[in-house]
Amino acid sequence: MQLRLFSWLFVLVAAFFALKAGAQDDAQRAKDALIVRTLLRLPGVDLSQKPEAKAALLRYLEGEKGTEKYLEIVEKFALRETKDELLRLAVEQSEGTLGVKAAGLLVKFQENELLAKTIADPDPTKGAKLVAALGLLSDKKTNDLLSPLVTDEQKPLAIRSAAVTALGRNAPGQRWLLATVEQGKLPADLKFAAANALLSSADEAVKSAAGKHLSLPATAGGQPLPPIAELVKRMGDAARGKELYATTGTCAKCHKVKGEGKEVGPDLSEIGSKLSKEALYLSILDPSAGVSFNYETWAVRTLDGTVLSGVLVSQTDEAIELKTAEAIVHKLARDDIDQMKKQAISLMPADIQKLLKAQDLVDIVEYLTTLKKPGPD
């Protein structure tokens, strides 16, 4: 009985102190909010002379992460201490307004070292997303950071392709790309990205000059493929796209949607919540430029001369498991492997547009945009 009474007393005391701490937190938040409102009304505030006010601002911002207000306050007071959060936003929302604005603040704060370090991250998907966000700024100030990536063939293709697309979003970047093409310095694996960027230029001189060196691949029937910027503007038939996805488009041979299809590449059940239309077109038409992390292709040659290509499913010190494009998993003992090398080329076919007309492709992408993460009930 005494033990039970003691337990209840302990719970009551703990609850009291929790409520007291909560009340103190609420009071602190209210005080911080008042300080922030005051600071926002004052012009030319120098926070270096007001450390307590700056601390209040930073505490207040903890509750505003992921909002326009967060970015407005960070910009107004040049709060460089928020660079890690800005980077997170730029990467995780690289195709959205918040992510692009966050990337813009990193450029404004001259966080070039942080940007370069992230672009060089071992996960090329992360670097490519940041490059994409920088490109959507359409700001020539990013060109000095991005242009060296294009010709550095030691960098992953996803990074280099994203850099080409980014440079193609501003006029000086387009001119630099065109000069690189004309001088024969553009790597061959970037021709699609460069053609897509330059052949959709609003500058007719750039478009005409690029057309002498670059072309987009032909679709079924031999018709030239329009630039992605044009395809994005077209409306598609999602129902027809669903049928094409499973038949002519051959997508179901490598991807699952809600449990149907083969699991070679990423599951597409929620792809419409993850990628924009532009990114969907790019992943279909230039798959090697946008390989998802952990879905890179590996080529393995065994001691008896057998050569296999596929996605690495698992690996231990004793063996690896490789899944081929046919969704067949091969288990290979390490002792039997002569050579194993990561490939720059995606397992997904790069010429799938040959099976489809432009409208077929538009319909498939329209269908993919409907595959979204379920919302709250």
Predicted confidence at residue 143, as pLDDT, reads 95
Sheet with 319-323: list strands edge to edge.
Answer: 329-333, 319-323, 307-315, 297-302, 337-342
> Is the Cα torsion angle 72, 77, 78, 82 positive or negative in sign?
negative
For residues 289 and 162, is the Cβ–Cβ distance under 8 A?
yes
Q: Burial code of 278-302, b = ≥16 C-beta within 10 A, e = fewer? A: bbbbbbbbbbbbbbbeebbbbebeb
Which class would CATH give 228-291+358-369? mainly alpha
Q: Is the pTM of this model over 0.85?
A: no
Q: What is the CA radius of gyration of the chain?
A: 26
How does strand 337-342 pair with strand 329-333?
unpaired
CA atoms within 13 A on the CB side of 263: 9
Q: Tens place of pLDDT for every residue, the chain, 377 residues?
A: 554 555 555 555 554 444 444 555 677 788 888 888 888 888 877 888 888 888 888 999 999 999 999 999 999 999 999 999 999 999 999 988 999 999 999 999 999 999 999 999 988 889 999 999 999 999 999 999 999 999 999 998 989 999 999 999 999 999 999 999 999 999 999 999 999 999 999 899 999 999 999 998 888 878 888 899 899 999 999 999 999 988 988 888 888 898 888 877 888 899 998 888 988 888 888 887 765 656 678 888 888 877 888 888 888 988 888 888 777 888 889 988 988 988 766 667 667 778 888 999 999 999 999 999 886 55
What ranges do the domains of the chain cover?
228-291+358-369, 297-314+321-342
Angle between helices 143-151 and 112-119 (to 10 degrees): 30
